[in-house]
Amino acid sequence: MLSKLIRSLEEGLQSGEFKPHKFFDRLIEYSSSDRIAFCKWVVDKISFEDHSTVVKLAFTHLALLRHLPSYETFLSFESRWTNTYHNQYQFLKALFENGKNGADCNCAVYHNGRFNTPPYQEDLEIIEEKHLDDVDFGITHLVYVRCIGCGKKWEVGLDYIYHYPHSHWSPLRET
Ligand SMILES: [Zn+2]
């Protein structure tokens, strides 16, 4: 499994038409241990200078899966990591720290407003989505999710008035 994934990544990178996000999205079809093994291989072997998106995506999977042995390696990339609008480096760092503190799930990081985390995460189950048609600005879309880890429910409001969607998390009160 691992060698097949590695070969497929290497062929993709050579083809010049490689779509890193698409490739890494498909990884969730694999078991956690296969994903961890593959992503560890990527962060050890793939050049960050040549393929930074690929390495960053591998670290994203390792952080989301709370693979703590990769945390030290991750920290060594700090000075080379050009950040994006949603504080990607800090987000991954918070995920690792959260795991290190013994958390069973990523909720504590997701709902932190600094990171603008979309509600579409593999460890969240979507309960319901609502479009608020009569709103002209601000939050126009509500997504209700349940954390598969801790069972907590969240209401995530999305607004699209900026260049990219903003996610606002609040705990969902049971009625
Ligand atoms: Zn949770």
153 assigned to some structural domain: yes
pTM: 0.90
pLDDT at 84: 66
Same domain, 127 and 168: yes
pLDDT top residue among 26 and 84: 26
Q: What is the pLDDT of residues 32-59, one digit of tens each?
A: 999 999 999 999 999 999 999 999 999 9
Same domain, 140 and 99: no
114 assigned to some structural domain: no
pLDDT at 175: 64
Which letter does DSSP use for residue 63 in this model?
Answer: H
- CA of 151 relative to ligand 1 center, distance in Å: 6
Q: What is the pLDDT of residues 119-167, one digit of tens each?
A: 999 999 999 999 988 776 788 899 999 999 999 999 999 998 877 889 9
Distance (Å, whole) CA 39 – CA 121: 18
- CA of 127 relative to ligand 1 center, distance in Å: 14
- Mean pLDDT of all residues belonging to the chain: 92
Which letter does DSSP use for residue 121 in this model?
Answer: -
Same domain, 131 and 67: no
- CA of 147 relative to ligand 1 center, distance in Å: 5
- CA of 26 relative to ligand 1 center, distance in Å: 23
Ligand 1 is a single-atom ion; what residues have CB below 5 A from it? Answer: 105, 107, 147, 149-150, 152
Domain housing 147: 120-175
